[in-house]
Amino acid sequence: MNISTADPRLLGRTVRRVVFDEATIAQRVRELGADITRAYPDGELLVLGLLKGSFIFLSDLVRQIRRPLQVDFIVASSYGESTISSGHVRLVYDPETELEGKHIVLVEDIIDTGRTLSRLMELLQARKPRSLEICALLHKHVASGFPYETRFLGFGAPNEFLVGYGLDHAENFRHLPYIASLQ
């Protein structure tokens, strides 16, 4: 699929290519929802979204999980306006939901360096959940020494700066219904 600067959603920027189109994303989200449903036949399930990038993915995902669940969010920042993670993770919002004894699925848009996710996993494990797993839409597989398994994974991703379907650059492009590589 070719996307040009004529698309008003791109703010005059061009994208190198569409990496995952709408239909491909929708199909994979349905599959992930079914996987999560099977993985948690009982117990309290909390789907915890890492904002802001995961909000579109999380919204579509929870509608595909066919069992009772709760939703909450956590906010951490490491990018600012750069296209490269600063390495400094700043927690902006901590979930208000009680975490102890619950199955928690931490939903992330993309695993890049893994620094943010590693810090959050440590924080969440200290709160004694019944289980704690990662669900990521994308994984670049470039994080050296990332100690956690991604149990529920949408797609392996190229080592490019990606936008759309919740992923942004300086708060732009989250609303795109596809995932594209930004030039």
**Active site residue ranges:** 112
Read off φ and ψ for residue 157, nearest 5 degrees: -120, 145
156/122 Cα distance (integer angstroms): 24
The number of helices, as runs of H, and strands, as runs of E, in the chain is 3, 9
**Ordered alpha helix ranges (H), 73-112:** none
Strand order across the beta sheet in which 45-51 lies: 90-93, 70-77, 45-51, 103-111, 131-139, 152-156
H or E segment at 50?
Answer: strand 45-51
Please choose, from the candidates 183, 182, 176, 150, the residue with its C-alpha nearest in 3D space to the C-alpha of residue 25: 176
40/92 Cα distance (integer angstroms): 29
